Chains A and B, each alone.
Chain A
């Protein structure tokens, strides 16, 4: 009694402590069982929303997702994925798929996704992406949908490519432009800047000697931004391995995050020199294939969604975009979350997706 009273005074509740111990013991047992399951089973099937392949050309893949609404908006959407990552981040599993969300809301959705460039594609240049792949996909979307207007959505570096395309093809078929976490001021990506410091980083030597930039190198540079996070997430996984929903979510995101793509060597050289070193996009000095790419020439309705806690594209790097863009109808929305949780997972389901729908539906007729 005396001990209980003392424990109570100290803020402990003996009954709840024993309940807690019991629950922890049960979880420890569940962890052992689920831990075995974890290593003996594969993760959930990702990117399974039904789609048709419209075109495959080297690293470029164009998909059309089969509409599921009885009636769809007039203007189709073309999503341009980042060249470092796979598009299934936007199509995880039913209920957590951005694509499925758009289809249910009545949009006609196409995706420009990338596969690993082959060694013989090491000479792909920025021009190939901006002046060939994207316009080719836009034309195919126009032909397939029968509509002249297309809404373009670019995620991360897919946003940069969309901006370059939009600025060079101003007055073209792009009706709306939406960017997710898209950097324009590369000075503000401070750690990447330091990794690529021109005094020590010999990009010419690297590209000339290895060709395409291997995915391990790209993944390491992402992980180095938060070096403790991988270990901490594994501790978290072990703590929560009894929780099927947590494990499912962990596996989805972990698989995607480690499924990094190599980058074509020449393309990487341009990114490093023009964007990381000379910050040409921000300085209005960017050109692609001899054609000036000035963001202020983009006049179509524009939405930029950025994440409050984005460690890959810090807000400082994305912030100037809204000022630089030439559109009269433009909006920036800052949402809670990080670089990935902005677009996928429970956070995105609550925040970004409804916001995007409310913005886009009025501009899709």
Chain B
């Protein structure tokens, strides 16, 4: 295998990594300035307010066009998820009922939980040692 220092792929990956670190450090320094905060909040405030107005406008437009808005689509997706969740619950209950019917004459009872009697394993040869530095 060629030396890593001569491997063009390794060099490229190292360069990307260094560029990322360098740019992040540079940007972090720039973002620590009060001027950045001022500019960010001017732009951010205006954008947020603008986005909200645009959203409301779009909502009205979609209503006029008799089409669902994004909020309604999200609401529908959430309803679907809730229905899926309930179906899963029903499936789980049916499963339990089926098991119980087979085992105890058809009377429904919740699945038994394991006993809360577990004890910690005895310390054995540093098996449970931390992987990290402790303070």
Contacts and interface: CB of A to CB of B under 8 A. Distances in A.
Contacts of B121: 361
Contact of B114 (A69, A190, A336, A364): A69
B74 to A, nearest CB: 8
A355 B51 contact: no
Contacts, number: 159
Interface string A338-365: 0000000000001110110110011011
Nearest to A116: B74
Which label, helix, strand, loop or mixed, suits the secondary structure of the A interface? mixed
A147 to B, nearest CB: 7
Interface residues of B, number: 56
Interface centre among B5, B37, B74 (most CB of A within 10 A): B37
A224 B31 contact: yes
B2 interface: yes
Contact of A210 (B20, B38, B49, B120): B49
B42 A200 contact: yes
A33 interface: no
B117 interface: yes
A201 B113 CA distance: 52
Contacts of A11: 2-3, 5-6
Nearest to A107: B118
Which label, helix, strand, loop or mixed, suits the secondary structure of the B interface? helix
B13 A239 contact: yes
A332 interface: yes
Contacts of B130: 333, 351, 354-355, 358
Contacts of B102: none
B68 interface: no
Nearest to A75: B116
Interface in A221-267: 224-229, 231-232, 235-236, 239
Given A73-B116, A227-B27, A334 B133 contact: yes
25 contacts: A12-B6, A17-B2, A20-B7, A53-B89, A67-B114, A70-B114, A71-B116, A194-B37, A195-B41, A199-B34, A224-B27, A228-B24, A232-B19, A239-B13, A334-B132, A334-B135, A335-B131, A355-B130, A355-B132, A358-B129, A358-B130, A361-B120, A361-B121, A365-B119, A365-B120
Given A195-B41, A335-B132, A358-B130, 16 more contacts: A11-B2, A12-B6, A24-B9, A72-B118, A74-B116, A194-B36, A205-B45, A210-B52, A224-B27, A236-B16, A322-B135, A335-B131, A335-B133, A351-B131, A352-B132, A354-B130
